[in-house]
């Protein structure tokens, strides 16, 4: 940690005059949950938020906020299994065998290892129903709401009104308790402040007009999101194809990774997959919120060279779209085209899978369509014709709501389901790029949302919640991000308040 004032005496004098118990960095579901929980436990809280008030809420403001739950009292049946499948590479089993010990008796190398502690996942599962019921106390209602998938591989429910309903409910409560919760809008946290003994005592930031601001408190909750809005960090961790991705919503542009960087500089252990992120297929032409295009499994995906480049339908879309979208990112200029003929209209409610309001390219011939989307006509026609010949002759088993096994035959790159020839005009195409919902890499925390350092010890007074806390590797466990933010935010706010009172 760094001392960022003109001297330790000045720091301590300013510190003595502050009345904040907890500083929360970020105002999405994680930050608001932390701040409100802390206030309910008697703490005085400062919230630093980069966005202006009318845009507060980070990614949460713009998401539908589905929770991976089968009812209000239980997470989905596959919740912990899905996290276990994506828990981080091939860790050393000789180190993992000590997970059976109590945390206090685990070796430091395990405590700081870049894997998600199973006890943290168990805590998320146990606390999610409590977080949901807590949110209902603020007037939020949850239900099984319409999805942008025609079918799904797990159970999901969400707040009526989406993430904005969560931000409005908790934000309104915070606004009505201004004596205890103070917002600092258009203010970005930059550094943690410590005293001569290394104790955390505050945060240094930048407010509007490039004015420096120092806030002081013995507890800090980092809830400022990932680094999807930071092109330098994306290039460093994701690689050169990062130039072709963008945040899925306006809120993501405010997430520039400072919370993660501050914690790493303070000696925090890292966790989560820094080279990856939650990917969604979106229309690059659209200004809409989360303009997903998720109908591609019923057609073909074609790149700028006029060729197919992946199995469009390996399984149900809700369990495979992330992997497919990352493959789109790897194509020339990071773009693909979802191509259909008129048979798309045979699928009831297919429009629910497309959230862009920009009309698709449409033509009466494949040649004309190729010209509209500016790809080589000859190669495009060869690709479609080869696909058409490879489709099964018996189309009677086509079923858009389940894996129907209608697969191609004889292609080097097969399509596993929903293979129907593209022969009926008009022909349509949507451009698709890879968008970044949130990054996976972050900070290691324990089941109380306390930040763990590289030696396996807790950093006193420092917490991480939401996207700042890394728990995902390779593939996102769908419908858990906002849930994760609410749970870890509450854990952080409650524990920081207990620490204040101890």
- Provide the whole-model pTM: 0.93
Comparing C-alpha atoms, which of 491, 478, 485 is closest to residue 251?
Answer: 485
- pLDDT reading at 308 higher than 90: yes
**% the chain with pLDDT above 90:** 86
Q: How confident is the model at residue 4 (pLDDT cuts 50, 70, 90)?
A: very low
Q: How confident is the model at residue 33 (pLDDT cuts 50, 70, 90)?
A: very high
Tell me which of 151-165, 229-243, 271-285, 478-492 is least confident.
151-165
pLDDT confidence of residue 150: 76
pLDDT confidence of residue 151: 75
d(CA 91, CA 80): 18
Residue range 279-435, CATH number? 3.90.700.10
The mean per-residue pLDDT over the stretch 44-55 comes to 98
Q: Could you report the per-residue pLDDT of 131-177, keeping only the tens digit for each?
A: 999 999 999 999 998 877 777 778 899 999 999 999 999 999 999 99
Q: What string of DSSP letters covers 123-190?
A: HHHHHHHHHHHHHHTTT--EE----SSSS-SS--BEETTHHHHHHHHHHHHHHHTTTTEEEEET-EEE
d(CA 352, CA 348): 9
Q: How confident is the model at residue 236 (pLDDT cuts 50, 70, 90)?
A: very high
Q: How confident is the model at residue 340 (pLDDT cuts 50, 70, 90)?
A: very high
Q: Could you report the per-residue pLDDT of 87-119, keeping only the tens digit for each?
A: 777 889 999 999 999 888 999 999 999 988 899
What's 8-276+440-501's CATH class? alpha beta
d(CA 226, CA 353): 27
Helix, strand, coil: what percent of the chain each, to 5?
A: 35, 20, 40
pLDDT confidence of residue 12: 40
Q: Could you report the per-residue pLDDT of 187-217, keeping only the tens digit for each?
A: 999 999 999 988 999 999 999 999 999 999 9
pLDDT confidence of residue 17: 43
Half-sphere exposure of 315 (CA within 13 A, CB side): 8
Q: Could you report the per-residue pLDDT of 450-475, keeping only the tens digit for each?
A: 999 999 999 999 999 999 999 999 88
The pair phi, psi for residue 320, each rounded to 5°, is -130, -10
Rg of the chain in Å (alpha carbons) = 24
CA angle 355/356/362 to nearest 5° reads 120
- Give the domain ranges of the chain: 8-276+440-501, 279-435
- pLDDT reading at 301 higher than 60: yes
């Amino acid at each position: 940690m760094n001392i960022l004032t003109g001297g330790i005496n000045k720091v301590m004098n300013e510190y003595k005059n502050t009345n904040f118990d907890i500083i929360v960095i970020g105002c999405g579901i994680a930050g608001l949950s932390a701040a409100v929980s802390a206030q309910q436990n008697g703490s005085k809280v400062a919230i630093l938020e980069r966005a202006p008030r009318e845009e507060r809420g980070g990614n949460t403001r713009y998401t539908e906020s589905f929770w991976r739950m089968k009812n209000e009292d239980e997470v989905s049946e596959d919740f912990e299994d899905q996290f276990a499948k994506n828990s981080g590479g091939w860790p050393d089993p000789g180190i993992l065998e000590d997970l059976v010990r109590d945390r206090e008796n685990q070796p430091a190398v395990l405590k700081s290892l870049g894997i998600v502690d199973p006890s943290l996942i168990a805590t998320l599962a146990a606390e999610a129903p409590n977080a949901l019921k807590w949110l209902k106390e603020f007037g939020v209602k949850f239900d099984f709401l319409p999805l942008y998938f025609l079918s799904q591989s797990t159970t999901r429910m969400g707040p009526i009104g989406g993430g904005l309903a969560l931000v409005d409910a908790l934000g309104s409560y915070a606004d009505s308790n201004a004596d205890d919760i103070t917002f600092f809008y258009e203010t970005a946290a930059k550094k943690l402040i410590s005293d001569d003994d290394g104790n955390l005592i505050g945060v240094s930031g930048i407010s509007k007009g490039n004015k420096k601001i120092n806030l002081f408190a013995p507890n800090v909750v980092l809830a400022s999101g990932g680094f999807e809005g930071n092109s330098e960090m994306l290039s460093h961790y994701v690689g050169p194809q990062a130039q072709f991705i963008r945040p899925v919503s306006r809120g993501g542009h405010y997430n520039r990774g400072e919370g993660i960087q501050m914690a790493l500089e303070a000696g925090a252990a890292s966790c989560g997959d820094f080279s990856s992120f939650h990917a969604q297929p979106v229309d690059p032409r659209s200004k809409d919120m989360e303009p997903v295009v998720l109908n591609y499994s019923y057609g073909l995906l074609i790149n700028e060279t006029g060729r197919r480049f992946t199995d469009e339908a390996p399984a149900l879309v809700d369990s495979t779209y992330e992997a497919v979208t990352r493959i789109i990112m790897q194509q020339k200029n990071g773009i693909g085209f979802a191509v259909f003929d008129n048979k798309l209209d045979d699928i009831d409610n297919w429009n629910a899978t497309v959230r862009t309001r920009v009309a698709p390219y449409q033509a009466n011939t494949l040649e004309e369509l190729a010209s509209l989307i500016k790809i080589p006509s000859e190669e495009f026609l060869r690709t479609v014709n080869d696909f058409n010949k490879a489709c099964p002759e018996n189309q009677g088993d086509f079923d858009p709501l389940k894996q129907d096994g209608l697969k191609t035959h004889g292609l080097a790159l097969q399509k596993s389901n929903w293979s129907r020839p593209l022969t009926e005009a008009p022909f349509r195409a949507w451009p698709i790029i890879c968008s970044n919902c949130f990054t996976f890499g972050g900070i290691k925390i324990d089941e109380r949302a306390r930040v763990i350092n590289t030696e396996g010890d807790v950093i006193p007074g420092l917490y991480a919640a939401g996207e700042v806390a890394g728990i995902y590797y390779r593939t996102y466990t769908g419908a858990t991000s906002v849930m994760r933010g609410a749970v870890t935010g509450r854990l952080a706010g409650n524990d920081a308040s207990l620490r204040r009172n101890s």
